[in-house]
Structure 1
Amino acid sequence: MVCPCVKTTADTEEPMQQHIVGVGQFATIHNINNKTARKIPSDKSYTYSVEAVEIEAKIYKHLGKHKRIAKCIRCSNDYIDLRYEPNGNLETYLADKPVSAQWRYRLARQAIEAVVYIHKMHVIQSDLSARQFLFLPRDKESSNTVQSDLFALGSTIHEILIGRKPYDGVEDEEVQRLYSNREFPTLEDIESAHWRKAILKCWKTEYESASEILEDLPAVPLPTRIFLNLQLALRWLK
């Protein structure tokens, strides 16, 4: 199923301020009715805010329905309606809920599966993380690439398995310096050697695709009712 692009109608008027559940650089997210999360430009007079929502709507339409992609209910050039997820984002959930190592491994695998799919569909996510992602150090004028997504995916896997960002608490400039010098965080808290190897290979840009990561990992038994969806901040078609 592809999310239908519809024209703005009276049904899509802006929600009230008290229903805001998230604020990004270009868009604001509202809880409409505990079933729908509506994403709208933060400032409709700001060209980049409007364009960001327009492009994201096109990408959701292009991606269609997939078990690892947030469900898009409907969208237009003015807004994107996604299924409301009451547990919030993954970073907050992991911080609030005690979860087993096996549960974390399954979530990390699902995160990889989401990236496999969007790359297959020629989409670069560019902002992967439980909440916010660390990117492969490169020229600031350079475009995001598969490799920068995979580097960031390694950091997200680290965050899922350990419960904190790589170099958590370190200033951004210092983190960039460390990564640029190929000085990577310790992975000793991760029990599985397979997962430690996979993260390090992401950081060292030794993978050509996300599917190669899955080939390096052992199978993980499927617990019940765990579904991780990649959502929001999808930027552009490659």
Structure 2
Amino acid sequence: MDFSTITLADLQGAGIGLTSDVFRIRNTNMVAKVPASFGPPAPFGPEVHEVEKRIYERVGKHPHILQYLGQSPAECAVLKGALLFEYHSQDVLRHCIHNLHRISPRYNQLPRQVASALAHVHSRGVVHCDLGLHNILLTDSGDVVLCDFAGSILDGSRPFVAHGDRYADPLRRSKELAQRDDVFALGTVMYEIACGKLLFEGLEDWEIHERLAKREFPDLSGIPTLLRDVIEKCWTEPEYTAKDALADLDAKASPPAIGVAVASGVLFLAMAAWKLGGRGRL
């Protein structure tokens, strides 16, 4: 498209955040992310957007990470080098979590999709630092994409954000954010998707912090065993990674071991022989 012809009238407000304003560009399938222009000055400058740009370039394309389309060209005075992304008409999961099981035909696949995105991000030397339902978009197909790396860590850079109380481990002794912090948050995200509600919904932040500090996690008995085990590991095992979580979730789809398959075949033949009057003899 010809960016030089874009005017303010072509921009529709799509979101306002701590670091950025997001606009949809009319008659396109793109949104533009520019430094925040309203409210008091942010405690950080253009460095945040430069790091986010480098993160998206490093991460590359992934089916469950918001697709980065590059920067608006210099001749586009209105957008001033904005970061461009694909547009999704649906909302972030935070705003549709209670109805997610009804509006997403891929509902059961969403925990794995988030784990896949996070494992990929971590493999590229990135720590998200603010993983949560507020930074996961629902697509028109019912899938999810991880977004918003403004303030994230790239190769040890300084973070400008941190996980909220529902997604942070109060017992983490290190003051420096690391991939382990994202993994704890992943456990909470998976719980919220599986249960269709926020972790400790209705409680104040200090109450949530206190319960997590005491390791008073919510009841997981209603969640399928495989996913329940992954959530527990995310919350409690210091060495557990997003890659581990993805591998555990994928284990369900793996073919049975040869020994198991052979044993099952022998049992089937034995039952068939018995039914045919063979009295159990093969």
Render the CA deviation track for 1:35-92: whole Å, top value 9, x for unaligned.
Answer: 1111111139646153222211111111122222211111278421100011122333
1:42, 1:182 → 2: CA distance? 37
Amino acid of the residue matched to residue 37 of structure 2?
Answer: D
Shift of 1:150: 0.2
2:10, 2:244 → 1: CA distance? 44
Unaligned runs of 5+ in 1: 1-8, 222-238
The structure having more radius of gyration, on CA atoms, is 2
SS at the partner of 1:99?
Answer: helix
**Runs in 1 of length 4+ with deviation above 6 angstroms?**
none
Please show how residues 64-143 of structure 1 align to structure 2 within 5 Å. 64-75=60-71, 78-99=81-102, 103-131=106-134, 134-138=167-171, 142-143=175-176
Residue 171 of structure 1: aligned partner: 204
- Structure that is richer in helix per residue: 2
Render the CA deviation track for 1:12-43: whole Å, top value 9, x for unaligned.
Answer: 77x56972221211111111125111111113
TM-score, normalised with respect to structure 1: 0.77
Amino acid of the residue matched to residue 115 of structure 2?
Answer: I
Residue 236 of structure 1: aligned partner: none
1:100, 1:79 → 2: CA distance? 32
TM-score, normalised with respect to structure 2: 0.66
SS at the partner of 1:216?
Answer: helix
Percent sequence identity over matched residues? Answer: 25
Amino acid of the residue matched to residue 236 of structure 2?
Answer: K
Shift of 1:139: 6.6
Contact residue 116 and residue 211 of structure 1 kept, 8 A: yes
Shift of 1:10: 4.5
* Count, aligned residues: 211
Amino acid of the residue matched to residue 32 of structure 1?
Answer: I
Residue 52 of structure 2: aligned partner: 56
SS at the partner of 1:185?
Answer: coil
1:216 aligns with 2:251: no
2:209, 2:237 → 1: CA distance? 15
SS at the partner of 1:169?
Answer: coil
Query: Which range moves more in the overlay, 23-32 or 211-220?
Result: 211-220
RMSD between aligned alpha carbons? Answer: 3.0
The one of 217, 236, 253 equivalent to 1:204 is 236
